[in-house]
Amino acid sequence: MKKNQQLEGLYASSRFATFFLTIFAAVLLMCVRDVMAFNLSTRGTRLEQVTAVQRQPWYLGWIQRTVEGSVGHFTSPVHEEITHRIYDCDADGAYCADVDIEFAPPAVLYGVRWNDDPPFAFQSSHKQLEGCKMQESVRFISQPLCWRNLFKDAEKGAAQGSVYNAKSGHVLLYRVHFGDLQFLHSMASMNGDLSELTRSKVMIWAEFTWRVASGEYGLLTTLREVKIDGLNDMVGRPDWRIQDLFTYAAPGAIRKQIRQVAFGSLLHVMEDSFAKGHAERAEPGYEQRCANPGATEHLAPGAIKEFHAYNKQNHSEHSRFDSREMLMAHVANTKPHVITVGRTLRKYFEDGATWDDVKPYMECVFAVQQPNTPASAGIGFEK
């Protein structure tokens, strides 16, 4: 009871600040519009809000928090709505977009948000940027001004030809949005990458997250100990524990649910693969089922014709297709759609399926038409 009262008190204080921050967010919304992936809520889940309040009093972070909404990706909870609907929210309208309704577990939502907002620590060699507390961990909800400035620095560098990967020493935010980890959004790392290359990265990540989600690997397992071909070359941090990767500076309530966090990260990759700015899918065959032995009971999504490359896209057009309006159009006109696929994966997860059990279905979900198709901006997304 005492713990609940403390939580309510912290949440009440954060709501007072959020009232004013929302007004500033609306004013600043047009400052930065172009970020990859379906949109996310500006305020995060209730657990994330409380964690941020605990880390710094609202009045010290007030100026920073006025930038919420100025990063186009953090404008509306599209990823959260998809995930709540995967967890059986079937209400009309935007009810399922409420971040804190009790459908998808908070740890799953944390994992879904992780792909766009992985917490990280600065390395000593990183340059100082305005608004950044270099000695503290960075997430959008805890250091939004810093996050925004890092994002814009990464975007500027990418436009000038900078390469962000494990060898470059850049923090995760640079890599997941403009570097070698863009497969976390079902996108190619750069123009010209072949479909099979991106698909293979997605499948490595799917296997990794599923093995964590199924309990095969735990928080203290180092990535070096994970026996998945290609994972360590891809992530480039073999000394990191799974705890460091997924829950750096996170509260114990999140770490205890690492299996749900990992599942959420996998859901994010799948969800983005149905966004037209990320990948072009063929229209699904009517009542066509997966051909893979072990998955033939499931309807097959349209095969991926091309994974797009963000660096060559018109970013505003990309953002337009990450909206709730486009999500609802996809759901109304496609079978199976993103929520159908998510519910299938959820059933596998809740049934305790192993990677060998779920692999045939994942191969069906991420089937590519032609493995040698080079990534491009995509038709209609060119700069």
pLDDT value, residue 46: 64
pLDDT value, residue 40: 66
Question: What number of CA atoms fall less than 13 Å from residue 66's CA on the CB side?
Answer: 9
pTM for the model stands at 0.85
For 102-134, the pLDDT digits (tens) are 999 999 999 999 999 999 999 877 888 888 999
Q: Give the C-alpha separation, 81 to 210, whole Å.
A: 22
What is the mean predicted confidence (pLDDT) over 301-315? 92
pLDDT value, residue 83: 97
- Average pLDDT, rounded, for the chain: 85
* Cα–Cα nearest to 195, from 303, 274, 276, 107: 303
More confident residue, 12 or 245: 245
Report residue 192's pLDDT band, with 50, 70 and 90 as the boundaries.
Answer: very high
For 9-36, the pLDDT digits (tens) are 444 444 444 444 433 333 333 344 445 4
Distances 178 to 19, 87, 163, 181, 310 between C-alpha atoms, Å: 32, 31, 8, 8, 8
What is the mean predicted confidence (pLDDT) over 365-372? 98
What is the mean predicted confidence (pLDDT) over 331-359? 97
Range name among 50-64, 156-170, 344-358 with the lowest pLDDT average: 50-64
pLDDT value, residue 344: 98
Query: What is the 3 state secondary structure string of 82-127?
Result: HHHHHCCCCCCCCHHHCCCCCCCCHHHHHHHHHCCCCCECCCCCCC
- Chain centre distance of CA 227: 24
Q: Is the pLDDT of residue 63 over 60?
A: no
Range name among 43-57, 174-188, 220-234 with the lowest pLDDT average: 43-57
Q: Is the pLDDT of residue 94 over 90?
A: no
Q: Give the C-alpha separation, 251 to 60, whole Å.
A: 21
Report residue 48's pLDDT band, with 50, 70 and 90 as the boundaries.
Answer: low
- Please, what's the b/e burial string for 83-108 (b: 16 or more CB within 10 A of its CB; e: otherwise)? bbbbbebeeeeeebbbbbeebbbbbb
Q: Is the pLDDT of residue 356 over 80?
A: yes
Give the pair of three-digit tokens for residue 177: 């949005």
pLDDT value, residue 51: 55
Angle between helices 106-114 and 258-272 (to 10 degrees): 50
Q: Is the pLDDT of residue 75 over 70?
A: no
- Tally the residues of the chain: 383
For 278-295, the pLDDT digits (tens) are 999 999 999 999 999 999
Pairing relationship of beta strands 279-281 and 304-307 according to DSSP bridges: antiparallel
What is the mean predicted confidence (pLDDT) over 48-62? 50
- Report whether 255 contacts 240 (CB < 8 A): no
pLDDT value, residue 58: 46
pLDDT value, residue 72: 47
Q: What are phi and psi of 138, to 5 degrees?
A: -120, 125
pLDDT value, residue 334: 95
